[in-house]
Structure 1
């Protein structure tokens, strides 16, 4: 009995020791909160959300897909996100408010299209008509008005602009024929096109923006921001996760079937066939900030000229860029 008692004491000691060791390892693990909105931003990094590769030993990355932009804005403004993919003007407003985040790169360029249910339509056809859009005073609105103005349209007199609360509200009004002219982003465009055969694209707003401003990629739509503190503390981790993001955007085009499956499994709203179809016009492309400074400077300046509040009151200084 005495030998059994000694054995039990030793066994209990081993369990207690290993338990403490496990707890210590957990305590040392750094939690990184990665926020991404539903839609193209989440689609662009579906591979890493699904596969969860080890970015660097000692780190645990938690990926959160938010269904509304409001939740993304709240998370960033409160400093809850360590890494986030955000509407590009939010990168400016958050930086001008507290300077907590820097821009590391972009995963999505302009994917907005001016469409009509009428055939043989041109920009001139818009005069005297009603055009539906989202985001009054924000990127979709500003880009649309800038492009149309450059095309000779008097945006104050020639067109009646109407707005809805979000992309999900655009599809019903065009499918019901309430609207004949709409600005649609992907993957909503592919979704509507699958149900309405007579939908015609009048303008690719990103292509027009590129020509208008003599830039390579167009306007940044989905910006990667990272907490400045994280960049300072562990640049290797940051470099590693950016490389994984880039790989994910490349893979998205190489294996569209796999992409659609992953998106369904991680809870992205768009259905697999729509995601596969949307890739042709999605404009998903990773570009680091060093190679896209002109695009951001042009974008921020244009937004500031339109309404300074859209960028937080002023054009952000160079401190907003992770690398210059």
Structure 2
């Protein structure tokens, strides 16, 4: 008798579990739709590696696809023309596109904080920004955010960027690193993963300053929001539930990458985000990969945009983003 009751209970439990699972599988997108997410190779795209590996079920006729880009201008073109629904990009580019499309591109979340570091030779003593007085600083990013960030930090530490240091700009990060390799008594500004690559491949070099930390000091505790997830407004309005689910799973992917750097590094290489596992593994920690909703990151974003605007209004699209820019679920 007891055995029969146990079997009956198990059968009922199985039926209920199947019924509950079936009820929970409502299509988030009912029509035929390919949602496309664009990612930049490098830290801005690294957090999506787990999501790319696992994929996402949005509905019987809907799917999520990913596209890797090597340059921000490529992403810009595709989100403007509607080829992309969601895109990882520099935060200032999101502001530029918001203005260019008259509100057609929104800020979804910050996904990367500062990735810039200052490296020196092992024999060079640099403990603070003030120690850069009289130094040559090799860097890339002239007329872009790396220059504005560097200048702002120098100025807020009492150094005139045009008189107290000698900033030499180069087109590529690798070129700046090469010049520095011949002059290790001075310093170089590099982002991840070039910091990791340089430390692994160049003898007698060390990281001396984290510009994210220096930015926070200069801005009274504001974070340095350099990378983000942007959303095409049309997509956000038409498929809010699907978007919420994608962002939720993307946040989980970021958590996985940060907590499992070895396994994540393999996925990052497999998905074409970075070329070498060891570089990916060692770069994860310094890449400051995060997930901060737009509404929660707004204060730091606004401070960042204001500073960029003062250097060059064009760096944020000619105007500071208004309230509608910050997507809220």
Q: TM-score range by the shorter chain?
A: 0.7 to 0.9
1:272 is aligned to 2:277: yes
1:107 is aligned to 2:129: no
> What is the Cα deviation at residue 197 of structure 1?
4.1
For residues 55 and 177 of structure 1, do their structure 2 counterparts lie closer, same or farther at Cα, with a shift above 3 Å needed?
farther
For residues 234 and 113 of structure 1, do their structure 2 counterparts lie closer, same or farther at Cα, with a shift above 3 Å needed?
same
Distance 1:238 1:168 in 2: 37
1:202 aligns with one of 190, 205, 208: 208
Distance 1:90 1:56 in 2: 31
Q: Which moved more, 1:261-270 or 1:104-113?
A: 261-270
Specify the alignment match of 2:248 in structure 1: 243
Does the aligned pair in 2 maintain the 1:175–1:192 contact within 8 Å? no
Specify the alignment match of 1:128 in structure 2: 134
**Structure 1 residue runs of 4 or more that deviate by more than 4 Å after TM superposition:** 176-179
- Once the two structures are superposed, residues 207-259 of structure 1 have per-residue CA deviations (whole angstroms, 9 ceiling, x without a partner) of 1212222335x111111100111111111111101111100110012222211
Does the aligned pair in 2 maintain the 1:187–1:270 contact within 8 Å? no
TM-score by length of 1: 0.85
Distance 1:176 1:73 in 2: 36
> What is the Cα deviation at residue 48 of structure 1?
1.0
1:182 is aligned to 2:205: no
For this pair of structures, how many residues does the alignment match? 297
The residue matched to 1:323 in structure 2 has which SS? coil
Q: What are the residue-to-residue correspondences of 1:1-324 with 2, within 5 Å?
A: 28-98=31-101, 99-117=103-121, 118-122=123-127, 123-177=129-183, 180-215=186-221, 218-323=223-328
Distance 2:58 2:168 in 1: 45
For residues 163 and 37 of structure 1, do their structure 2 counterparts lie closer, same or farther at Cα, with a shift above 3 Å needed?
same
For residues 316 and 263 of structure 1, do their structure 2 counterparts lie closer, same or farther at Cα, with a shift above 3 Å needed?
same
> What is the Cα deviation at residue 129 of structure 1?
2.9
For residues 55 and 299 of structure 1, do their structure 2 counterparts lie closer, same or farther at Cα, with a shift above 3 Å needed?
farther
> What is the Cα deviation at residue 157 of structure 1?
1.2
For residues 179 and 135 of structure 1, do their structure 2 counterparts lie closer, same or farther at Cα, with a shift above 3 Å needed?
farther
Q: Which moved more, 1:85-94 or 1:119-128?
A: 119-128
Structure 1: 5+ residue runs without aligned partners? 1-26
Distance 1:153 1:299 in 2: 20
Distance 1:57 1:247 in 2: 23
Distance 2:238 2:141 in 1: 36
> What is the Cα deviation at residue 119 of structure 1?
2.1
Distance 2:62 2:221 in 1: 37
> What is the Cα deviation at residue 137 of structure 1?
2.2
The residue matched to 1:64 in structure 2 has which SS? strand
